[in-house]
Amino acid sequence: MACRKNVRVAFAVVVACFAIVSRATVSDASDQPDPADPCYDGDRARRCVPDFVNAAYGGHVEATSTCGVNGPERYCELGPTSQGVCHTCDDSQPKRRHPAAHLTDPNNPYNATCWRSETLSAQPVDPASALPPPDNVTLTLSLGKKYELTYINLQFCPKAAKPDSIAVYKSMDYGKTWQPFQFYSGQCRKVYGRPNRAVITKANEQEALCTDSHRFNGAGSSASRVAFSTLEGRPSAIDFDNSPVLQDWVTATDVKIIFNRLHFPSAPPESSAGSSSTTTTTTSTTTSTTGSILGDGMDPKSDSDEPLKGNKTGADLLMLNPDQELQGHEPEKTTVVVPVTTASPSAGRTYHYAVSDLSVGGRCKCNGHASKCIPSGPGGTLVCDCKHNTAGRDCERCKPFHFDRPWARATVRDPNECKPCNCNEHAKRCRFDVELYKLSGRVSGGVCLKCRHFTAGRYCHYCKEGYYRDPTKPMTHRKACKACNCHPVGASGKTCNHTTGQCPCKDGVTGITCDRCAKGYQQSRSQIAPCIKLPSKIFVNQMSSDARAAGNEGGDEGDYDEDDEDNRHDQCGKCRSGTKRLNLNKYCHRDYAILGKISEPIVTKNWAKFTMNVQSVYKRNSGSRLRRGPTTMWMHESDLKCKCPKIKPGRLYLILGRESDGERRDGLVFTQRSIVIEWRDDWHNRMRRFQKRAQHCD
């Protein structure tokens, strides 16, 4: 007794110590920071994927047939001998239930829980019936989200027959449409219309294939499994990240498994008791023997080699000899081995489907932009915990305002992180332009939408019309653009220079906003000409003032006072209006026609000297030395003061005159008869027409 007490005390001490250590471990773990995000390496993005899971675990499976749902039902299992063991299934009794939920519950090979279909009826099948054949049973599993599948595994119950023909389908749109995924059959061509064990190439690696490999696993026709590897033998699997075809191939939201034909054992239970085996090799014997087990409605005489459609015929329900299976070839349609002479009540009950586990291995599809999937919303819908500025249930798009580069799946080499648009903080929306992206060398393709704060442009990088840039603030400042505020009367427009803010002013108006009259002008009541020249004096313009100042350096002959200027103004008449217009007659009666830019004049000895850069010569006399380039132009001081003609330095002028007017001067001379017109770009073609028509001048 003392020894037992010591053992109990020691055990209690060990348990207490273990509890203390466990609490300490949990406490230490809670105090530690969360591990680094696997989607980032420091500040750099990198490809990340969710953990590999059994996507079917705990999932809801719909079965078109379940034993005991419609009331108690007898079924039989294959025994080690010819004598089978029969049981009763009843969905209303917990211990006798075999629901589809047993397919995705925890799988224990030592205490397997099975889903069982109803036993295949031995009653005749009406060919006109819209119902599927009695052995056509479907299992549908909804994954609840897109997964990238690696395998689909079916574990059949012990002592249960393994189906001969199985079709696996997948859906990528939550069950709206279905695509073939894989087929298994001992007669691929007959049942599914596909060749057996076709060679996989890049041309067909996204197609469902058919194989009879499940028949030759060394386990006979019972207590076995069927496993489908989605990428096995696919040529592009080695470069999966760069194969959109295979990425689409392994993607699924739902899986459907259809048992089309049962793989019957060679000897049904209870068939050998009190009877002798008989082997038949003729078509007529096949009909009678098969009908005793499967029902007289099954006609094995059909010799069609087309895929299975509608209700099956007896030829599609051939019972194969295991010896013939191991030979690796399909049996002849007229050769059926049925070692049974009489049908027993338990024979039909043996024929049912029984699966202990359905597992689907794969990863939650997040396109390399998330390391886990999390429940979201009231219904707990599974979504990716997206990183890399991506969004969507599968991280299948860039999140708003991150469209500077196109979305792409992350790879080991390039995480393809979505980049925000560069809008200088003046826009909340943008779009992607593939042409601009290509033109930029695949660097930037974002275009900002609805720029705010009076900005414009692809990047909201300049001020819109009517505003100019404030140099004291960065472009990202919400007040980087200031209004032009051009005067409504003094300015000739509402726009201003985007850099300086200078508004376009009317004649005689000055100021950055055109809000005052210039020197020598006074305000009028006219909105068309708000500033007019002072009527009391005629001031020589700044050009003449500079010329006079330069001329005074040459001697006293260039000196004059305001009284002389007033007297000369009184002597100025109106300039000849004909010198401001040009026609063919005037063109013909002038010796030269040139286009040039005039510089500031120098006034000396009653003459103003201009330097003119001749850009085009439209007309000249034969023997004239007039050429393109710099030349000298003269104007009498009185004509300069009277502005006949009116010359503005730095501008282009079309000048027509007579060379005889300048015989006493080295160069050409402006007179009141000279035609001087400020140049317009659209006059070039007009001058060419004058040149052609001048051939007919009188």
Q: Compute the average pLDDT of residues 229-236.
A: 92
* Res 80: pLDDT: 63
Under the banding of pLDDT at 50, 70 and 90, the label for residue 552 is: very low
Under the banding of pLDDT at 50, 70 and 90, the label for residue 7 is: very low
Q: Out of 90-104, 340-354, 620-634, pick the least confident.
A: 340-354
Q: Out of 38-52, 98-112, 265-279, 471-485, pick the least confident.
A: 265-279
Pairwise pLDDT comparison (207 vs 132), residue with the higher score: 207
**Nearest to residue 115, comparing CAs of 293, 444, 353?**
353
Under the banding of pLDDT at 50, 70 and 90, the label for residue 673 is: confident
**Which pair of structure tokens corresponds to residue 641?**
């003061």
DSSP string, 520-588: TEEE-S-SSS-EEE-SS--PPPHHHHHHHHHHHTT-GGG---HHHHHHHHHH--PPPGGGG---HHHHH
3-state secondary structure of 628: coil
**Which pair of structure tokens corresponds to residue 232?**
């096995």
Cβ–Cβ under 8 Å, residues 297 and 124: yes
Under the banding of pLDDT at 50, 70 and 90, the label for residue 350 is: low
For 361, other C-beta atoms within 10 Å of its C-beta total 18
Q: N- to C-terminal Cα distance for the chain?
A: 151
> Does position 172 have pLDDT exceeding 90, yes or no?
yes
Under the banding of pLDDT at 50, 70 and 90, the label for residue 82 is: low
Give the percent of the chain with pLDDT over 90.
40
> Does position 282 have pLDDT exceeding 70, yes or no?
no
How far apart, in whole angstroms, are the C-alpha atoms of residue 609 and residue 637? 10
Under the banding of pLDDT at 50, 70 and 90, the label for residue 472 is: very high
**Nearest to residue 596, comparing CAs of 662, 670, 487?**
670
* Res 348: pLDDT: 52
Domains detected in the chain: 53-78+85-365 (2.60.120.260), 571-696 (2.40.50.120)
**Nearest to residue 618, comparing CAs of 604, 630, 607, 628?**
628
With 0-12 CB in 10 A as exposed, 13-18 as middle and 19+ as buried, what is 567?
exposed
Pairwise pLDDT comparison (142 vs 213), residue with the higher score: 142
**Nearest to residue 546, comparing CAs of 663, 687, 650, 399?**
650
How far apart, in whole angstroms, are the C-alpha atoms of residue 23 and residue 152? 40
Q: Is the dihedral of CA 319, 323, 326, 332 positive or negative?
A: negative
Instruction: Report whether the peptide linkage leading into residue 80 is cis, meaning its omega lies within 30 degrees of zero.
Output: no
How far apart, in whole angstroms, are the C-alpha atoms of residue 105 and residue 103? 6
**Which pair of structure tokens corresponds to residue 536?**
């009391």
Pick left, alpha or beta for residue 71 (phi over 0 → left; psi -120 to 50 → alpha; otherwise beta): left
Q: Out of 120-129, 373-382, 495-504, 523-532, pick the least confident.
A: 120-129
* Res 55: pLDDT: 94
Pairwise pLDDT comparison (252 vs 687), residue with the higher score: 252
Cβ–Cβ under 8 Å, residues 187 and 215: no
Under the banding of pLDDT at 50, 70 and 90, the label for residue 361 is: very high
* Res 383: pLDDT: 95
Q: Compute the average pLDDT of residues 248-269.
A: 77
C-alpha distances out from residue 546 to 402, 509, 551, 599, Å: 60, 22, 9, 12
How far apart, in whole angstroms, are the C-alpha atoms of residue 59 and residue 658? 104
Backbone angles phi, psi at 3, to 5 degrees: -65, -45
Pairwise pLDDT comparison (682 vs 478), residue with the higher score: 478
Pairwise pLDDT comparison (91 vs 450), residue with the higher score: 450
- The highest-confidence range among 132-141, 221-230, 269-278, 459-468, by mean pLDDT, is 459-468
> Does position 600 have pLDDT exceeding 60, yes or no?
yes
Q: Which residues contact 244 (CB under 8 A, 6 or more apart)?
A: none
Give the percent of the chain with pLDDT over 70.
71
Under the banding of pLDDT at 50, 70 and 90, the label for residue 698 is: low
